[in-house]
């Protein structure tokens, strides 16, 4: 096994950074099949190569239905002052919360 020479995780982070915007674009165009597929690939890559997604990246897709969260289309964003968290509520009923 190569000793840290090949930067596989950098490549994976780069690819995740490409896939998530692609998913949102596909969803805006109404292409649910590809939107789901891009989210699936990004999540699969992060588990396969042990690359943690940042809270911001995790708020870009729904864990319930696997679709990208696009505010105004299928997602409501609410700010909770008391807990200092942003809630990204999907139209399927699932919500992701991140601290701010
Ligand atoms: Zn959902």
**pLDDT at residue 3 greater than cutoff 70:** no
Within 1-100, residue ranges assigned H as helices are 8-28, 32-48, 55-58
* 83-100 residue pLDDT tens: 999 999 999 999 988 888
pLDDT in tens, 25-35: 999 999 999 99
Closest Cα partner for 95 from 74, 23, 83, 81?
Answer: 74
Ligand 1 centre distance from Cα of residue 91 (Å): 6
- 3-state DSSP assignment of residue 78: strand
Report the separation in Å between the CA atom of 28 and the middle of ligand 1, taken as the mean of its atom positions.
Answer: 15
Question: Per-domain residue ranges for the chain?
Answer: 8-99
CA 98 to ligand 1 center in whole angstroms: 16
Whole-number Å distance, alpha carbon 1 to ligand 1 midpoint, is: 39
Is pLDDT larger for residue 81 or for residue 2?
81
Q: What is the pTM of this model?
A: 0.85
């Amino acid at each position: 096994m190569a000793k840290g020479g090949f930067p596989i995780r950098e490549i994976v982070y780069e690819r995740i950074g490409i896939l998530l915007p692609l998913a949102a674009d596909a969803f805006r165009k109404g292409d649910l099949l590809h939107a789901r597929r891009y989210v699936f690939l990004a999540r699969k890559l992060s588990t396969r190569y042990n690359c943690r997604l940042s809270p911001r990246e995790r708020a870009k897709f729904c864990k319930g239905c696997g679709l990208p969260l696009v505010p105004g289309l299928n997602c409501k964003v609410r700010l909770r002052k008391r807990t200092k968290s942003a809630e990204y509520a999907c139209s399927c009923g699932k919500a992701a919360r991140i601290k701010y």
